[in-house]
Chains A and B, each alone.
Chain A
Amino acid sequence: MRLFHVAGEGWEALWANKLRTCFMMAGTLVGIAALTVIMTIGKGTERQVMRRVENFGPRAMMLVAGGGRATGPPDAQITTLTLADMEAIREQIPGLEIVTPQAWATRAQLTRGSAQTRATLWGVEPEWHAAWDWYVADGEGITDEDVATMARVCVIGSSVKRELFGDEDPIGERLYVNKVSLTVTGVLEPRGSAGTGGGDFDNRILLPITTAMRRVLNVDHIGAVRMITTDARRMPEQAEAITGLMRRRHGIRPPAEDDFRINSPLAVAEVVRGTSRTLSILLMVLAALSLFVGGVVLMNILLISVAERTPEIGLRRALGAKRGDIFTQFLTESLSVTFLGMVLGSGLGAGVALAIRQLTSLPVILSWEPFAVGIAFALLVGLFFGVQPARRAARLHPVEALR
């Protein structure tokens, strides 16, 4: 009760000097707002990382033609990755549950009667389904027999089905790819648009790899090798072994650049995190600076206030206020200001975060965590910068103060 009354004296001072209170609060407000934005973006990014990794496959690696970039589709110009490379990995790299090749063409032209569309074309083996944990919703997937006989069949993604067949049942129907006629044997489960490249995952067509390479694309190289490891912890070591093997087979000696790259969940995560990192670092600097500068301003205003209100402090002491009461009163001012700054700053931060979500592609997720961290930081700033003025006020001798 007494504490409440003494704290009330601090609140009255804040209420009576609103402009001063605003100045005391500004730094905390901006700092906590920045902190809130950082955390909402951070949380959004991590959620996206998890989703992308989940999509990529937590135990998956991709050997992809073309060096340089960290993710994205194979480089169509690079023709050095072959089925023989894939066989070599199968034979020489231990601990891989699945090793399966993928031939590739971007924006392949698909026609059915007057309807046409463009989709990513993949030539695959039956293991592709297991390697991507991605099966048909309708009909059959690619089979060993299809591959062995270079069968003129295909499995289509749900977007392709929608474009070419609408509501019709596509199974058993025909479509043309580069003037090659194929029979649709299956439709893939829809996966949405959460690919590593961000494109529509369902806008694709699968062919037996032999059909794709010989009949449609007429190539000897493949775009990628998809691998599933038996143990995710062995991935870095396996990736290194594959890199060594490929360099040997392709005659590459560092510092010459690799003509391939190996994607793993780690690399995927890195790419996603990279997009928001710069902004996060900038905001981090802003938050740290605001909280520190704001704290110093807060402390100085309080010190001035202690000096100005010395007679008042003397009077309170004369009327029976203990040192602790004076200390509490001034610390209450400091803590209340930072707390208020935190509340307003969290609101501002949430607003900015929502605006960022509307205006940019950055992932943003609002949650309670920034609020909790905000409270902690605000109270820390209030304590750290409020103790000194409060102590100075409490140490004033009543006789000196009253003079």
Chain B
Amino acid sequence: MIELEGIEKTYTRGEVVTRVLQGLSFEVEAGEYVAIMGASGTGKSTLMNILGCLDKPTAGHYRLDGTDMVQLEDEALSELRNHKIGFVFQQFHLLQRTTARKNVLLPLIYAEDYPENAEEMAEAALEMVGLHDRIDYRPNQLSGGQQQRVAIARALITNPAVLLADEPTGNLDRRSGAEVMAIFQQLHADGRTVILVTHDLELAEHAERVIVLEDGQIAEDRPVAKPRDAEHELATLTSVQEVDE
């Protein structure tokens, strides 16, 4: 599904050459749930941009679902992102002035063909993330967790090959974070490929495999013996809250 082979990324500012990624190679199978972990400055964001086809590596090959994105022009990369990748960002990146429904529909505008049943698709996606009663709310009428769930619905609407989440709980409280993580686990259970980029080990251990980056190289690539169960955490959080109250 995802094959990285000798990925390098080098930035040149004047005479200073920074080698952010220094020859990464790994594969992710379809249906896997992988966390990419690393402290800031380890090349995590750069790798995330490359995985998301937002940026090209300086050297190496990256095959996504059989396509080597390194060969592609800007226009074809846009199409690839539209078809194959669902993004979930730390800052949600919703359009503020428009409804949840229209936010979810946004990727379809840029698809080859605008599906006839787009409205139903958007409603189904919002229902999947538990927001069927918030379809026509604007982002400022929603909580942070709800906004992130709209963003997840938006990421899913094109039925992408891979869901790419960058610190998706970074701006959320514990409970909302757990809700988001529970959704990811559910998506994984349904057979979706999920890549979670985070600096937080606890969060990373919700995945079934953790790749740790250090200084632009893979320091560790290990399976998680017993992934954390977000549903369970959510239940715990709820009962603790109930006790508090």
Contacts and interface: CB of A to CB of B under 8 A. Distances in A.
Contacts of A324: 75
A12 B75 CA distance: 24
Contacts of A171: none
Nearest to B97: A16
A73 interface: no
A1 B114 contact: yes
A195 B93 CA distance: 73
Interface stretch (A82-90, A258-266, A280-288, A314-322): A314-322
Contacts of A169: none
Contacts of A318: 52, 54, 81, 87, 93
B110 A325 contact: yes
A144 interface: no
Interface residues of A, number: 26
B98 A12 contact: yes
Interface in B128-172: 154, 158
A5 B109 contact: yes
Interface string A206-229: 000000000000000000000000
B223 to A, nearest CB: 30
Contact of B106 (A311, A319, A402): A319
Given A2-B114, A402-B89, A319 B107 contact: yes
Contact of B54 (A5, A323, A402): A402
Given A316-B106, A321-B110, A399-B54, A311 B93 contact: yes
Interface in A299-342: 311-312, 314-325
Given A1-B114, A399-B49, A320 B107 contact: yes
A209 to B, nearest CB: 84
Interface string A368-403: 000000000000000000000000000001110010
A320 B110 contact: yes
A322 B109 contact: no
A330 to B, nearest CB: 15
Contacts of B89: 315, 402
A402 B52 CA distance: 12
B95 A322 contact: no
A9 interface: yes
B82 interface: yes
A320 B97 contact: no
A78 interface: no
A317 B78 CA distance: 7
Interface string B59-80: 0000000000000001100110
A399 B11 CA distance: 14
Contacts of B109: 2, 5-6, 8-9, 321
B75 A323 contact: yes
B219 interface: no
B55 interface: yes
Contact of B78 (A5, A9, A322): A322
A324 B49 CA distance: 21
B39 interface: no
Contacts of B83: 320
Nearest to B118: A5
A5 B114 contact: yes
A1 B118 CA distance: 13
B49 A320 contact: no
Contacts of A6: 109-110
A191 B233 CA distance: 100
B117 to A, nearest CB: 15
Given A312-B95, A315-B93, A399-B54, A320 B79 contact: yes
Given A399-B49, A399-B54, A399-B55, A319 B82 contact: yes
B82 A320 contact: yes
Contacts of B93: 311-312, 314-315, 318, 402
A8 B109 CA distance: 10
B49 A316 contact: no
A322 B110 contact: yes
Interface in B105-126: 106-107, 109-111, 113-114
Contacts of B54: 317-318, 398-399, 402
Contacts of A398: 54-55
A400 to B, nearest CB: 10
A325 B107 CA distance: 12
A2 B79 CA distance: 13
16 contacts: A1-B114, A2-B114, A312-B93, A312-B95, A314-B93, A317-B54, A318-B52, A318-B93, A319-B106, A320-B111, A322-B78, A322-B79, A323-B74, A399-B55, A402-B54, A402-B89
Given A314-B93, A321-B110, A398-B54, 4 more contacts: A318-B93, A320-B78, A323-B78, A402-B93
**Sorted from nearest, which 4 A-B pairs have the closest CB atoms?**
A320-B82, A320-B110, A5-B109, A16-B97
Interface of B: 49, 52, 54-55, 74-75, 78-79, 81-83, 87, 89, 91, 93, 95, 97-98, 106-107, 109-111, 113-114, 154, 158
Interface of A: 1-2, 5-6, 8-9, 12, 16, 311-312, 314-325, 397-399, 402
